[in-house]
Amino acid sequence: MDTVKTATQFDPTADLILYEGDCLALLPQIPDRFVKLVVTSPPYNLGKPYETRLDMDEYVAQQRKVITECVRVLDGRGSLCWQVGNYVEDGEIIPLDIVLYPVFASRGLHLRNRIVWHFGHGLHASRRFSGRYEVILWFTKGHDYTFNLDDVRVPQKYPTKKHFKGPRRGELSGNPLGKNPSDVWEIPNVKANHVEKTIHPCQFPVELIERLVLALTDAGDWVLDPFMGVGTTAIAALMHDRKAIGAEIMPEYVQIARERLAQAERGALRIRPMERSVYDPDMPGASLPPQVVRLGPTPVQGRLFEPRASYDAEDEQE
């Protein structure tokens, strides 16, 4: 991508639409089936600086309006990924995926995975176990959907392991393209020392969204984030030659999103690369250095294996 054509209102000829305001004002501007992927982390109703704590019924009613519009604008082969944690009150947790699941089901979506995003850092609890995961509910609109598994495979644990008996004796037993990343993703969350940290209290790590963008969309597709924050979804989409549209209600976050995207356009935004191993104190030099974002088709870094076309996808039945 040479230059990114940016718009502040819906414009189908743009590469990037960053709407400053309520997503419920942007969504009606988007035509039916326009986007291939909706990926977002909505407000959790925890009283963060950008949200007013609502009664749970009111919160769900508000989310229902956004979800209904997101389903309308979703392509028939498209996916919707809602990343949520817990609502907490008086030390009692209410998992928001459980609360919101009936809303998605009532809109006819099909749940493909409940991905557990596991991370190492967070508040230390004293009257329950410290929370170290959140979830991503991945739904598809239909039964025929885009899923580019080969683009998001991760290295095999034992890449040279071979069949030791039977007709395939001596052949590699694992897929040389790598293995399915599974539904438990260990990806550091963006805390103080993370290379991507901004002032936002809960931004996505870029690599979390890259995996979804690569697996669930093709080049040129539109990716929507109705609660855009500091623009992480747009960065992940544009760095892989997709187009991005999103809304954010807080002007200071929109400003940071613009700055991050401008940095990315000049090749000056540093991110934690996908597939970097999580820090291992016994092997401090083992992981990849930060990656500098480039927009357009970005080669996936850190691949430790070579594609081999003749492989039969054994053990991969679903």
Ligand X SMILES: C[S@@+](CC[C@H](N)C(=O)[O-])C[C@H]1O[C@@H](n2cnc3c(N)ncnc32)[C@H](O)[C@@H]1O
DSSP state of 235: H
- In terms of CB distance, is 27 or 154 closer to ligand X? 27
Q: Which two tokens stand for residue 61?
A: 């009613």
58 makes contact with ligand X (CB under 6 A) = no
200 makes contact with ligand X (CB under 6 A) = yes
Question: Binder to ligand X among 54, 99, 149, 250 (CB under 6 A)?
Answer: 250
The three-class DSSP label of residue 255 is helix
Burial of 248-282, coded b for 16+ CB within 10 Å and e otherwise, reads bbbeebbebbbebbeebbeeebebbbbbbeeeeee
- Total of chain residues touching ligand X, rule CB under 6 A: 19
In the complex, least distance from residue 134 CB atom to ligand X, rounded to whole angstroms? 10
| Residues pairing with 113 in the sheet | 138
How many Å apart are CA 75 and CA 218, to the nearest integer? 12
The candidate with the shortest Cα–Cα distance to 73, out of 150, 115, 17, is: 17
Burial of 160-181, coded b for 16+ CB within 10 Å and e otherwise, reads eeeeeeeeeeeebebbbbbbeb
Question: Binder to ligand X among 229, 242, 244, 275 (CB under 6 A)?
Answer: 229
185 makes contact with ligand X (CB under 6 A) = no
Q: Looking at this protein, which amino acid is placed at residue 275?
A: E
The three-class DSSP label of residue 58 is helix
How many Å apart are CA 129 and CA 123, to the nearest integer? 10
- In terms of CB distance, is 200 or 272 closer to ligand X? 200
Query: Which residues, numbered 8-27, are part of the site for ligand X (CB under 6 A)?
Result: 22-23
Stretch that binds ligand X, among 92-100, 135-143, 223-231, 266-274 (CB under 6 A): 223-231
In the complex, least distance from residue 12 CB atom to ligand X, rounded to whole angstroms? 21
Stretch that binds ligand X, among 88-96, 129-137, 148-156, 225-233 (CB under 6 A): 225-233
207 makes contact with ligand X (CB under 6 A) = no
247 makes contact with ligand X (CB under 6 A) = yes
Stretch that binds ligand X, among 43-51, 90-98, 271-279, 282-290 (CB under 6 A): 43-51
41 makes contact with ligand X (CB under 6 A) = yes
82 makes contact with ligand X (CB under 6 A) = no
How many Å apart are CA 311 and CA 163, to the nearest integer? 13
Q: Which two tokens stand for residue 210?
A: 């890259």
Question: Binder to ligand X among 78, 175, 227, 274 (CB under 6 A)?
Answer: 227
Query: Which residues, numbered 91-120, are part of the site for ligand X (CB under 6 A)?
Result: none
Report the relative pairing of strands 133-140 and 74-84 from DSSP bridges: antiparallel
86 makes contact with ligand X (CB under 6 A) = no
The three-class DSSP label of residue 258 is helix
Question: Binder to ligand X among 79, 253, 254, 291 (CB under 6 A)?
Answer: 253
- In terms of CB distance, is 51 or 218 closer to ligand X? 51
- In terms of CB distance, is 153 or 248 closer to ligand X? 248
210 makes contact with ligand X (CB under 6 A) = no
CA distances from 119 to 38, 39, 44, 128 (A): 23, 19, 18, 17
Closest residue to bound ligand X by CB: 229
Q: At a CB cut-off of 8 Å and minimum separation 6, what does 181 contact?
A: 152, 153, 154, 211
Q: Which spans of this chain sit near ligand X (rule: CB under 6 A)?
A: 22-23, 41, 43, 50-51, 200, 202-204, 227, 229-230, 232, 247-250, 253
